[in-house]
Amino acid sequence: MTRDLAGSVAIVGVAESDEIGVVPGKSSLMHHAEAGYNALADAGLSVKDVDGLFTAGFSTLATAEYMGIKPKYSDSTSIGGSSFLVHVEHAMAAINAGMCEVALITHGETGRSRRGARPPADASTPGPQFEIPYGINGAPINYAVACSRYMHQYGEDRTRQAMAEIAVSTRKWAQMNPKALMRDPMSFDDYHNSRWIAWPFHLLDCCLVTDAGAAVVVTSAARARSLPKKPVWVLGTGEHHDHALMSQMEDLTVHPAKVAAERAFGMADMKPADIDLTMLYDSFTYTVLMCLESLGYCGPGEGPDFVKNQRTAPGGEFALNTSGGGLSYTHPGMYGIFLIVEAVRQLRGECGERNVNPKTALANGSGGSLSSSGVLILGVD
């Protein structure tokens, strides 16, 4: 994306599905549709206005049919939890190319209610051949490998304390969000005493598994100015992925966000110090730590000092994951779209007691095994 596209589109509607958390009576498709209708209502639009449809990990054909949409532009790019931020970039390109004018991005997943036996892995793909036989199987294990390397390089004790800081501060934000699943207080002792999942991860290092959906509406600058709510301008975008298998990750302490952020900041003509609110995909506490460094908020190995003393908690000087994040708010399987929902609401001043009154926000999605990144820089007039 080039600098001249900055501010050419705006996010004009965001919403979750009607119920999120533990919702055993609804399908993934129902969450897609409810969130989509709710986001369009938030924007002052209807399905009749939608001519571009974006989903990840789910059929755009099924979503369009179920919602009564007949799009002239469709995109099902799926690179994990960062996909929805990438969809905003793709919607920007499509809108500026005249391929569509109103883009609806939806997601819905019954991650909690469909828990059970996993389908067999496709033996023709590399993972089942080269990683799964050796125990590298599943997100907690994969991410634990990367976190262990970070601890080796930068110190186990200081890394552990940083992860605790992130878990505790994020829960404090969740306590201010009525939609968050986990709102009970969390102390540092609670964190350290929680059961082990895959060393070095305790239970409270790991994201939730919930049922939920969310949707985002993107449109042209001209259309945005005619709608009832304050437009949230897309000032910068970037995407990048560099591996699929954990064993092929070049540096286990550096996230693909490093490349994506350079592009996004370049497009926006901004730097990390210009950002008022930061929303990071917190699949694990370690993901947050490494992304703070990879995005340029601090240098390699400096993350533990950056987050110490509850700097990212309510009342701290660095607003981070104000919804309660994937750790305490919701996480149906792919979380990235919820980063956008919170950032937009914060920029519009709709978050009640947890609002931090930002003028700019950065959202970074992470997908796969620390494999992909989508970075958005957003702002309001």
Catalytic residue numbers read: 281, 329
Q: Which residues contact 94 (CB under 8 A, 6 or more apart)?
A: 52, 73, 75, 100, 103
Say how far apart CA 223 and CA 326 lie, in whole Å: 32
Vertex 328, ends 324 and 332: CA angle to 5°?
A: 105
267 and 2 Cβ atoms separated by less than 8 Å:
yes
| R_g (Cα) of the chain, nearest Å | 19
Which amino acid is located at 91 in the chain?
A
81 and 363 Cβ atoms separated by less than 8 Å:
no
